Amino acid sequence: MGGGLPPDKLLPDQPLPASALFLLCYLSGGYFGVIAGFNSLRRGVVDVDLLMVLAALGAAWVGAPFEGGMLLFLFALSNVLQNRAMDKSRQAIQALMRLRPETVKVLRGQDWVTTAVDAVQPGDKVRIHAGDSIALDGELIRGETTVDESTLTGEAMPVLKTPGSPLFAGTLNGGGSIDLRVTRAAEDSTLARIVRMVEEAQSQKANTQCFLEKAEQRYALGVILITLGLILVPWLLLEADFDATFYRAMTVMVVASPCALIISTPAAFLSAIGGAAKRGLLFKGGVHLERMAKVDIVAFDKTGTLTCGKPKVLSIQPASDIGESELLTLAAGLEAHANHPLAAAVLDAASARQLTPQTAAEVQTVAGHGLQGIVQGRALLLGSPAFLEEQGLKRPASVEACRAEGQTVVVLAEHLPDNTLRLLGVLGIADEIRPDAAATLCALKRLGVKKIALLTGDHPEVARRVAKAVGADLVFADLKPEDKVTLIKDLALTGTVAMVGDGVNDAPALASAHVGIAMGAAGTDVAMETADVVLMSDTLSRLPEAFALGRRTRRIVIQNLVFAMGIIVGLGLLALFRGIPLPLGVIAHEGSTVLVCLNGLRLLRPTRLPRVSQKQKSSCGHCAGNPACALHITATV
């Protein structure tokens, strides 16, 4: 059989058993296609299911029931393989849920009772033995252990846990027996929330996928019209043989169907999202993964992102009439009402000296500036030098000395009855730069990021010191939260911007960027709700991996689209002008559909970042000689 011509009409000459088998083949292979096509028609949509059913019926009409049966069989088989592949992508994250045990030992009265995990409530005490999986989110109350949190963060190194440390469901207790107090019910645990968010993310379609799905029905309708034209024009106007014309038209219909084209994008995005989540990278939808590949400007918050987020009080300079201990207790009394790394540093400094913070009343937060409140009947103001200057306090001479040392300055003053301010003292606080910050920014530039900006509410001198150490190109300091939003919008005028922050103080900026990225967010509700991408690990090393995954996903999507279009155009032209056997068209069409699914499934596996030569490593002015740089450049996603 060649030249696209049909075989002799076999159906009338077939014995009854053969005809019955053909009929059974058509009914079984085409049943779901007919149902799907009919449901689509009821919605006014023409899809590929209808195309395949029409092509199979057309083959039987011209006496080629074997080719039609093969088409329906391979189409059904292709759909099964597609569904299996897509289910594998969708269920990749579900494997995490199997890490959580179904039962746990709970303290009931004086006895430890085995109880179903779903029946445990916040506040219950749970015992976890060595080597067991932690079933629920909680706080460690007895014992000391190391916990493998790689299921959530992707980090292989165990984390030391002491009383008061948070514990997360799905992680592994690697030390001795411990007790924890449950803080979240099973359905609200960090692990359960991650699974829900990944499922929601996989239902959110990328722009490319949405475009293809919208174009599918118009394309399918166009294929039907072209097929009718290929039948009627040669037969009516050119007096061509009807059977040969009809057969060729059916072949064109099969090879022009957009199955591989439509499945090419969801196969890639679902695999990438599911695989990344298992490694501690949570993308909230294909659209964010797609945008990640286009990012050329990355803005970083400083405190808690490029720095460790645990600043320490290094300089205590009280006024002449009070001592260091009094200054610390007064400042700590106000900071006890704040939720900021600088506040934690002041409280830690007081605790280290075994000082009890003074009780503060009527404490108010002045966003982006500081605090004010009543302590021991004294109206106190605590905040940045600029804030105190706005209130009328002359800048202390010690401020510049602290800033010269790269310290953030906090000033404490008392509001006097005559409406003036009296300086009580100055605290100098410094935050250590993350050891992997310079290597991370270097890796981002290797991946194609053109500009890296540092955004902070800190003093310009401190910001410039950090920016120089990590290799940031742009520095913006003394920023209020609303200023960060304005800067993100300004940067967005020149490129695609990603904002990296802690997900709490930087929430407005994260929401304003093309891609908002929160890091170290295991258990942080605000980070998960605000950001588009969540790095579950509390390290920057995962960030280049997220960008590399976005770029690799884009490459695979492009590969799938080019391959699918090439098959459609190439086979379509061959079928139209040279003629090809219908079985060959069927095999090529269904085979291409399966191949793009398999190509997308490659994103379930880790992705290696591009390797660089020793010369390139040594040319980096920010992390040359740092072994971590080479490690990050060759890390896996």
Helix 259-278 to helix 207-232 angle, to the nearest 10 degrees?
Answer: 160
Quote the DSSP letter at residue 140: E
Token reading at 273: 């999202």
Measured distance CA(305)–CA(437) in Å, rounded: 9
- In 91-193, the DSSP E strands lie at 103-108, 111-116, 125-128, 138-142, 145-148, 159-161, 166-167, 172-173, 178-182
Is the Cα dihedral 80, 81, 86, 89 positive or negative?
positive
Q: Which of 137, 301, 431, 538 is catalytic?
A: 301
513: Cα within 13 Å, side-chain hemisphere: 35
CA atoms of 215 and 92, how far apart (whole Å) = 29
R_g (Cα) of the chain, nearest Å: 32
| 82-to-50, 220, 556 alpha-carbon distances in Å | 18, 20, 17
Instruction: Residue 181: name the closest of 131, 150, 143 by CA.
Output: 143
Of 349, 375, 343, 345, nearest to 362 by C-alpha is 375
Answer yes or no: are the C-beta atoms of 441 and 592 closer than 8 Å.
no
Separation between Cα atoms, residue 172 and residue 185, nearest integer Å: 18
Asked whether 523 and 227 are in contact (CB, 8 A), the reply is no
Give the list of residues 6+ apart from residue 243 with CB closer than 8 angstroms, or none.
6, 9, 62, 63
Q: What is the DSSP letter of 280?
A: T
What is the torsion angle, in degrees rounded to the nearest 10, for the CA atoms of residue 145, residue 150, residue 151 and residue 153?
A: 110
**Vertex 614: Cα angle to 608 and 618 (nearest 5):** 115
Kindly provide the b/e burial profile for residues 480-491, where b requires at least 16 CB atoms within 10 angstroms of the residue's own CB.
eeebbbebbeeb
Does the annotation mark 47 as catalytic? no
Using the structure block, give the residue that is written with the tokens 């196969």. Answer: 267
Q: Are 429 and 311 in contact (CB under 8 A)?
A: yes
What does the alpha-carbon distance between residue 39 and residue 268 come to, in Å, rounded to a whole number?
A: 27
- For 625, which DSSP code? T
Q: Do the Cβ atoms of 606 and 620 come closer than 8 Å?
A: no
For the record, the structure tokens of 468 come out as 């120089």
**Residues annotated as part of the active site:** 301
